[in-house]
Amino acid sequence: MRIAATAEEMRELGRELAGLLRPGDLAVLSGPLGAGKTTLVQGIADGLKVRGPITSPTFVIARVHPSLSGGPALVHVDAYRLGGDLEVDDLDLDASLEESVTVVEWGEGLVEGLAEDRLEISIERGETGEERAVRLRGVGARWEGVV
């Protein structure tokens, strides 16, 4: 577990995570509204050196941020408004999964079937101010010994 005391510390954690992520990786973010999911993705995007700005894709559902440095693109998805597996299938995320880093906010229980290996990131509000508790859980052989 990591503690991020400020939004900037959450972005810094995202930049650190970007150093672990590679094309084909799926990260699933969970946490309540205002927990800092998009803030973490901003840090991941900065670390991956992709075109921004990174904002919550709630109303467009998914955005592709191309690399500015020859690395993988970032596919940023907000599954909050999705009603189930069929709507996830309609996004056709598996088409870009192999060459991109895909990060799905609110994806718990919806997108795990996209990849055998995934990084699950749970964010919870702390007891005071901006503090957040971030838990990482790697699923599958890809993440053995990584997190």
List, for residues 119-141, the tens digit of each pLDDT value.
999 999 987 778 999 999 999 99
**d(Cα 64, Cα 73) in Å, to the nearest integer?**
7
Evaluate if residue 23 carries a pLDDT over 50: yes
Q: How many CA atoms lie within 13 A of 99 on its CB side?
A: 8
**d(Cα 3, Cα 30) in Å, to the nearest integer?**
16
| Buried-state track 48-87, b at ≥16 Cβ within 10 A, e below 16 | bebeeebeebeeebbbebebeeebbbbbbbbbeebeeeee
**d(Cα 132, Cα 110) in Å, to the nearest integer?**
24
**What does pTM read for this prediction?**
0.89
Q: Identify which has the larger pLDDT, 60 or 10.
A: 10
pLDDT-derived band at 110 (thresholds 50, 70, 90) equals confident
**d(Cα 94, Cα 114) in Å, to the nearest integer?**
6
Which domains, ranges and CATH numbers included, belong to the chain?
Answer: 2-142 (3.40.50.300)
pLDDT-derived band at 86 (thresholds 50, 70, 90) equals very low
Residue with tokens 């509204």: 33
Where would I find the H helices in the chain?
Answer: 7-18, 37-48, 85-91
Distance of CA 113 to the CA centre of its chain: 16
